[in-house]
Amino acid sequence: MVKPATGDCTHAPRFRVKDAKARREGRAATRTDKPNREQEMPKYRVVTPKGASFTVAGSDYSYEREALDPIDAEIIEAPANEAEFIAAAKNADAIYAKGIPITKSIIDALESCKVITLGSVGVDSVDVKAATARGIPVTNIPDTFIEEVADHAMMLLLAGFRRLVEQDRMVRSGRWAEGRPALLKIPRLMGQTLGFISFGRVARAVAKRAAPFGLRMMAYDPFIQETLMYDHGVIPATLNEVLSQSDFVSMHAPARPEVHHMLTEKHFRQMKKGSIFINTGRGATVDEESLIKALQEGWIAHAALDVLEKEPPSHNNPILSMENVTLTAHVASASARFDEARKRRVGYELSLVLQGMWPVSCVNPSVLQSTALRRWQPVSMDRGPNS
């Protein structure tokens, strides 16, 4: 039996496993032993950019294939440039998006595509609007590594608040005596206010971690019911209230066109002078020049960032030389289970759609009703990049 992705699809259907290994070997034998006959083709073709993976380039896709082999679906790597990818993906049954932008040009050239699947929470590498216009579902994995990102956000909050990097440098450079005086300027954590911008799954998980520290919490998210915020001990607020009242502002907005540069100079000017800005969402949601100015001018005290507007940053990015910035390399989701979990989920989403069923997480769910896909979920579809 092909099991649903661990912890994510409790009610998911199970599929009968065929002898996939024998079928693959049979296809290989056909290609080798019968060169004059038409090669046996897989039932479904999943096209993906060559050599593009979050962690291991050139992997054998073994995790994805756990769900794809039983339905005779084969992952085919195509050149990672737009023109050649279009040629290779024209007749694909599905696109496994990674490595290169899946642009409107690519999407408009697809003739048989049933789904575009990403192995990430963010969907900014796919032109979702173009896919929606073509009636193609786009899937992501918003609930596979929530705990890791929440852990990382809480780590950045604490490291920034207690000036961990600064304290480490003092000890290593023989400035032991300077450590305590530096922290005498820092207030007690208990009773401080943590404000969330966007209150999706990760922010909710951060709230659970922050509550035992005695933090007062508030959140701005016009797309989330206020009762859900109260359930997490969080006070609903306007954006201005979050910015002006919070000692920590934690950014969780997804990378979507409507939130590009959501925070600009005027927003950082509203924040407390001693506040800390944390971002584990997407760098493009913040006008980085304005953030740099806020740090230089002392409008805010510190920034703790896992994401930047341009990644990796250029060597002359002022953020790299700032002592009031804590940085990590867009690694918040990484853990020992990261690669395995997300790849299995990708394979599972692909297998569902290729067999004519709704995916678990669709970022453009309006297209589902107009497709021939059938709904199997017994629960509401509270899914998407900001749910």
- Burial status of residue 76 (CB atoms within 10 A of its CB: 0-12, 13-18, 19 or more): middle
Tokens (6 digits) for 191: 């009773």
The catalytic residue among 311, 340, 374, 375 is 311
Q: Which element (helix H / strand E) includes 297?
A: helix 288-297
Q: Percent helix, strand, coil in the chain (nearest 5)?
A: 40, 15, 45
Angular region, 261: left φ>0, alpha ψ -120 to 50, beta rest: left
Long-range contacts (CB closer than 8 Å, 24 or more residues apart) made by 17-25: 17/70, 18/70, 18/71, 18/72, 20/65, 20/69, 20/70, 20/72, 21/69, 23/69, 23/72, 24/69
Which amino acid, residue 190? M
Please tell me whether residue 352 adopts helix, strand or coil conformation: helix
The catalytic residue among 134, 269, 330, 337 is 330
The set of residues, in sequence order, having a beta carbon less than 8 Å from that of 26 and lying 6+ positions away, is 40
Q: What are phi and psi of 199, to 5 degrees?
A: -125, 55
Q: Please say whether the beta carbons of 301 and 274 come within 8 A.
A: yes
Q: Is-catalytic flag, 265? A: no
For tokens 């990760």, the residue is: 202
Q: Is-catalytic flag, 175? A: no
Would you give the DSSP letter of residue 102? B
CA 330 to chain CA centroid, Å, is 10
The span from the CA of 308 to the CA of 62, in Å, is 32
Q: Is-catalytic flag, 178? A: no
The catalytic residue among 163, 256, 282, 345 is 282
The span from the CA of 84 to the CA of 275, in Å, is 49
Q: Please say whether the beta carbons of 337 and 311 come within 8 A.
A: no
Provide the annotated active-site residues.
282, 311, 330
